[in-house]
Amino acid sequence: MSERIGADMRTTTYAHMMKQSLEYFGGKRTGDLMSRISADTDRINMFLSLYALDFVTDVIMIVMTAVILASINPWLALVTLCRCHSLPG
């Protein structure tokens, strides 16, 4: 999925660059622009494939822990979840 998003972003960005005037490219080196686009989309791909997946996994873990805790003892689950929410930092 992250590769597809990166490919779509590159395609959209390249299409936008093709609409720019020649004066725009006169002031900038084209190779630098292409390199920057590739590097930025690679960073986004890395974020989506690693960090976003970790975030989703952590959220699922928290929800499942809360469900299991509630199934064992609903009162304790309520007290625990409310107490954790009110802790600083």
DSSP strands (E only) in 1-89: none
Which of 41, 42, 37, 43 has the alpha carbon at shortest distance from 17? Answer: 37
pTM (global) more than 0.85: no
Chain Cα centroid distance, residue 84? 26
> Distance between CA 73 and CA 69 in Å, rounded?
6
pLDDT by residue for the chain (89 residues), tens digit each?
777 887 888 888 888 888 888 777 777 777 888 888 888 888 888 888 888 888 888 999 989 988 998 899 988 888 877 765 555 55
> Distance between CA 86 and CA 89 in Å, rounded?
9
> Distance between CA 81 and CA 75 in Å, rounded?
10
Structure tokens at 46: 């890395």
**Segments making up each domain of the chain, as ranges:** 2-86
